[in-house]
Amino acid sequence: MMLRKRVFVYLILLALIVASCGGGPSTPAPKKTGSVSGLLVAAGTVGKNSNQNFEIVTSQATILNTSPDFEAIPGEYLVKFKDGISTQGLESLTVAGSELRQISSMSFNDLTIYFYKAKSVSKLQSASIANDLANNPNIDAIVENRMYDMTKTPNDPIYPAQWHYPSFNLPAAWDIETGKSIVVAVVDSGIVKHPELRILPGYDFYANDNDPTDEAGAQTQFHGTHVAGTIAAKSNDKIGATGVSWQTSIVPVRVLGPRGSTETIMKGTFWAAGGTINGVADNPNPAKIINLSLGGKGACSKLENDVFKNLTDAGRIVVVAAGNDNVNVNDFSPANCENVITVGATGPKGQRAPYSNYGNLIDIMAPGGDVSQSITFGNRNFPAGVLSTSFDLQSGKFSYSFLQGTSMAAPHISGLLALMVSKNPNLKYADALAKLKAASRAMSATDCKRGSGSDCGAGLVDAAKALGASGTNPPPKPPPTTNITTYVFALYCKPDTNCQLYDIDRSKYSVVKQDKSSVPYKLSGLEKGKYFMLGYQDLNGNVEFDKGEPAGAYPSFIDLAEGENILGATIKMQPLTTNSTSSSNKSLREIINNVNKEFAKLKDN
């Protein structure tokens, strides 16, 4: 009995020793998870297979200057009889088998005009009646009654999507001035020869040649072309979009590719204004107004201040973007320089855009867009950016894009200055700035999204008041907008499927606040494996992929090791279409719809 007890105790001690040495069963250590992070880039170009009004093909350039036909009202005529003709008994006329009844008359001094109407005539019959009236020997003049639009409202087909013009009362300004042949220099990323632009000879200080074409459009989003279109896209021609100043010409100066140095920018600015650059032919069309939608962190040097002082003394006006970092502009150059007009950005509701720099060096505010909001145009939702000229690399066609930034706000002011100079060719910098500030609507602390509204300068400019209008109606109410939901997904690829199938349970997603053109994202808690990275904007909030909604993918699959953290996975989104024939677009559409369904199931559970 004693032996059995000793053996039992021995076995217990042995088991404890074995367990302490790790020889027995134990709980495995949890596997480390990793992450993927990078930038999510908002859509820019409205491209191939989008609403037809959003594309211009090169062949259309030949008809850009065609005047629109007037719209006649069938069966209605204004008639002036020859002197000496008795008008008694002319209450009705019979012309081409139709009876015309005299409805009214109007007189001033010895001029009397009669208004006649015929019942139920077609457009063709009406034109025939007008022709017979014109050939009547008793009639001195006749015109068909015509439909007219509000004065100076352009007939360009996508103008209704350019919410940013009414937001600073530009249509009322067009009643005063639509612009003359003013020269504005766009010192930027270069340009493409968009048929909506009047382009003068320029220069490329980035590549040191006389071709200022934007050769880095994939990186710049054709920034300079977009800026130029806001200033001066051809207008009221039934083609494409509208610019602020309808007759202005652009001198393109390339200094960014997509970045540029102080030296390059300074050379470009000097040359644009008519200065001499060693080894470069002088600018044959010196610009009165120079737009600088560029900048970087740092103080404004004495040299830079001297440059801008020299330019203003020579009668030039320089407009500068305030910057897009949501910080005080005091540390952003050249916006913090003297003798420039520094412009902050507002969104579609007239408030400071969430990215716009602020501070006591902001002079004025102008529309710059906010792609975290959407607007509706043509029964479709689009990001509420500024709509202007661009180029679609996918289709190889000239196009239009919605972009946001103080870079988009500055050209609104450059275009407005072109209107002001058209009205007063002797306008100088100091007077121009004073007029712009006096014409601005002060912003409250709430609208400026700061402790004081003074951080938004004098406020949002009223373009009509800047042109001298008094007693004008205020800008119309802001367009209705909706918040855009932006998703980023890390889809876990099932083994041996070449990422054609995904394990939703192992996949992750996040909602990203797209308040800038490029915003950071990070997806954590990712297991070891292969992932497909996808970004997607649900413009109308129906959690389904719809025509034109932006999406994009990281260009290669990501092999994530256990516990690995991968940086720099940039996802660029572009509008896709439901009828696109591109195999990659078709695949992306199917993935988005499947992902939406699968994640919806997880939420329901």
Could you give the domains of the chain? 34-47+482-604 (2.60.40.1120), 72-146 (3.30.70), 153-369+404-466 (3.40.50.200)
The more confidently predicted of residues 29 and 366 is 366
Would you state the pLDDT for residue 22? 46
| 334 CB burial (10 A radius; 0-12, 13-18, 19+) | buried
Closest CA to 236 of 65, 86, 438, 100: 65
Most confident of 3-12, 280-289, 394-403, 493-502: 280-289
55: pLDDT strictly greater than 50: no
The b/e string for 391-404 (b: 16+ C-beta within 10 A; e otherwise) is bbeeeeebbbbbbb
Task: Give the Cα separation of 562 and 420 in Å (integer).
Answer: 63
Rounded (10°) CA dihedral 245, 247, 253, 257: 60
Would you state the pLDDT for residue 592? 74
pLDDT-derived band of residue 583, with 50, 70 and 90 as boundaries?
very low
5: pLDDT strictly greater than 60: no
Relative to beta strand 518-526, strand 482-483 is: unpaired
Would you state the pLDDT for residue 60? 19
From 125-129, 174-178, 420-424, 467-471, the region with the lowest mean pLDDT: 467-471
Condensed to tens digits (0 to 9), the pLDDT of residues 376-429 reads: 887 778 888 999 999 988 788 899 988 899 999 999 999 999 999 999 999 999
The more confidently predicted of residues 285 and 19 is 285
Cβ atoms of 244 and 412 within 8 Å: the answer is yes
Give the pLDDT mean for 33-58.
53
- Which residues are known catalytic residues? 188, 223, 407
Would you state the pLDDT for residue 213? 95
Relative to beta strand 55-56, strand 397-403 is: antiparallel
**In 82-167, at which residue ranges do the beta strands (DSSP E only) sit?**
92-95, 98-108, 111-118, 139-147
The more confidently predicted of residues 25 and 31 is 31
Give the max Cα distance, the chain.
Answer: 150
Would you state the pLDDT for residue 148? 44
pLDDT-derived band of residue 528, with 50, 70 and 90 as boundaries?
very high
Would you state the pLDDT for residue 589? 65
* Mutual angle of helices 223-232 and 406-423, in 10-degree steps: 30
pLDDT-derived band of residue 46, with 50, 70 and 90 as boundaries?
very low
Cβ atoms of 133 and 77 within 8 Å: the answer is yes
Would you state the pLDDT for residue 465? 95
Would you state the pLDDT for residue 505? 87
Would you state the pLDDT for residue 141? 84
The b/e string for 226-253 (b: 16+ C-beta within 10 A; e otherwise) is bbbbbbbbbbbbebbbbbbbbbbbbbbb
Would you state the pLDDT for residue 8? 40
DSSP tag of 80: E
Give the pLDDT mean for 506-514.
87
Q: Give me the residues paired with residue 512 across strands.
A: 486
Would you state the pLDDT for residue 209? 95
| 506 CB burial (10 A radius; 0-12, 13-18, 19+) | middle
Task: Give the Cα separation of 323 and 343 in Å (integer).
Answer: 9
Give the pLDDT mean for 561-583.
71
**In 310-405, at which residue ranges do the beta strands (DSSP E only) sit?**
317-321, 332-333, 341-346, 364-367, 370-377, 380-384, 386-392, 397-403
Condensed to tens digits (0 to 9), the pLDDT of residues 94-150 reads: 998 899 999 988 766 677 878 899 998 888 898 889 889 999 999 988 888 765 433
Report residue 319: phi and psi, to 5°.
-110, 130
Cβ atoms of 535 and 488 within 8 Å: the answer is yes
355: pLDDT strictly greater than 80: yes
212: pLDDT strictly greater than 80: yes
What proportion of the chain, given as a percentage, has pLDDT over 70? 82
Would you state the pLDDT for residue 303? 85
Cβ atoms of 579 and 48 within 8 Å: the answer is no
Q: Which amino acid, 228? A: A
Average of per-residue pLDDT values in the chain: 83
DSSP tag of 199: B
512: pLDDT strictly greater than 70: yes
From 53-57, 72-76, 484-488, the region with the lowest mean pLDDT: 53-57
Verdict on whether the full-model pTM lies above 0.85:
no
Condensed to tens digits (0 to 9), the pLDDT of residues 303-312 reads: 888 889 989 9
pLDDT-derived band of residue 29, with 50, 70 and 90 as boundaries?
low
Cβ atoms of 285 and 180 within 8 Å: the answer is no
Lateral strand order in the sheet of 183-188? 203-204, 249-254, 183-188, 289-292, 317-321, 341-346, 364-367, 460-461, 440-441
Cβ atoms of 327 and 336 within 8 Å: the answer is no
Would you state the pLDDT for residue 343? 98
pLDDT-derived band of residue 251, with 50, 70 and 90 as boundaries?
very high
Closest CA to 516 of 381, 388, 356, 408: 356
Would you state the pLDDT for residue 394? 76
- Please give the structure tokens belonging to residue 324: 């897009």
DSSP tag of 308: H
- Please give the structure tokens belonging to residue 564: 């690995």
Report residue 15: phi and psi, to 5°.
-65, -40
The DSSP element (H or E) to which 599 belongs, if any, is helix 583-604
Would you state the pLDDT for residue 90? 86
Would you state the pLDDT for residue 4? 44
Would you state the pLDDT for residue 515? 67
